[in-house]
Chain A
Amino acid sequence: MFGALKKKKTLTAYGLFSKPEAAEKIVAGARHVHSSNLGAHDPLVAITEGGSERGLDFSYPWERRQEAQFVEVRSAEDRHKVLRELVGLLGTDGHSTLKDVVGTVLEELISNAIYHGLRLKNGERKFNRFEKPQLQPSEYIKVGTKVAPNGVYVSVEDSGGSLTFEDIQEAFYRCYQRGLNQIQQKDNGAGLGLYMSFDQATHLRIDVWPGKKTVVSCWINRKRVPNEDNFSFNYFERT
């Protein structure tokens, strides 16, 4: 079933979608999904297409990384410390829904980087979810955040470069489908965290340099009410 879906190659999808509809488009092969009532005329689409065609470094408006604050995660134990620190940047009087969303997304992306991003030379996962791993000196996970009045930017970079578009398709397929057997014990949490981040984030971008590094970054709107249907997903494979 999934094999048949993967063969349908649609690289882009521009229109007005719900998140589950967008997930279906990703499963069907769309590496770039922009949901906006402007459709293909949304200014973000031009940025995406420019970046896809030229393969150059480029930024969406929310990604001025020089203003972001970066911390490194060296072990599973660091995870909660880093999470507290970064969510703490939102202040004590912030919108608690936003804090929960940012906390959830960061936790999932950092866990993904530790448990799924770093692989052995044979491609097997290095750590399972029940281990408390310590990173080797040659490995790194870098977490960035930037708090703006209208939202929060987060990015998680790992030195694995192992996240393929097919991994994402398979994970999304299992998550949004109805039925009791889609998520199983053997999944070890794989993919679900990314799907949860996609669901929570307004804009999700994944850049993969195969075998070198993966950067998953997203923008989370502060207000959940307006423009709920404006969101994007972009997967770029770099050389």
Chain B
Amino acid sequence: MLLDNKFNLKKKFEDGREVIYISGNLDEDARFDEVRKDQPLVFDMRGIVGVNSCGVRNWVNFMRDHKNQPITFRHCSPAIVHQMNMVPSFKGHAQVFSIYVPYACSHCDAEDRVFLDLVKGAREAPTKVPCKNCKVGKMEIDGDEQQYFAFAA
């Protein structure tokens, strides 16, 4: 929820490269001062739960300031995918390696998300998946599938 999740940025070294984990709300408090300008950037975005208009502006400015560096997005949460589809400059020149697709159960309203590795060619999300909550209904993509993947076009 947009109200209660402060933006957080953490760096970790994985397989000899730096991965930047961002989480919480991407909003007016989001700061990227500690991101280096002299190396390719890998962002892990699974923890971003909400994005507001000031956050979009901050991020687009960040992307513009780092336009000469290769940038990779991985584990993009639905909130990030939604922004990439809505404001094309949000994705900018970045390559998207993987995303989460939101699902909702038509029977019990439970929600889940399914991981998709786009590098391995998984461009299509499963149409229906069994609901782990009620075990009766089927979960479908929460929203329009074509629109959800518009960023990859």
Contact = CB atoms under 8 A, between A and B. Distances in A.
Interface in A128-167: 129
A187 interface: yes
A95 B86 contact: no
Contacts of A181: 64, 89
A112 to B, nearest CB: 9
Contact of B88 (A19, A100, A176, A225): A176
Contacts of B49: 100
Interface in A178-199: 178-185, 187, 189, 192-193, 195-196, 199
B95 interface: no
DSSP class of B's interface residues: helix, strand, loop or mixed? mixed
B89 A104 contact: no
Interface residues of B, number: 36
Given A87-B3, A225-B104, A228-B143, A96 B111 contact: yes
Contact of B109 (A95, A180, A183, A189): A95
DSSP class of A's interface residues: helix, strand, loop or mixed? helix
Given A175-B87, A183-B57, A100 B2 contact: yes
Contact of B104 (A95, A107, A183, A187): A95
B52 A225 contact: no
- Residue of A103, A108, A185, A196 most packed against chain B (CB within 10 A): A196
Contacts of A100: 1-2, 49-50, 79
B27 to A, nearest CB: 9
B55 to A, nearest CB: 9
A107 B52 contact: yes
A195 B50 contact: no
Contact of B61 (A83, A185, A195, A225): A185
B63 interface: yes
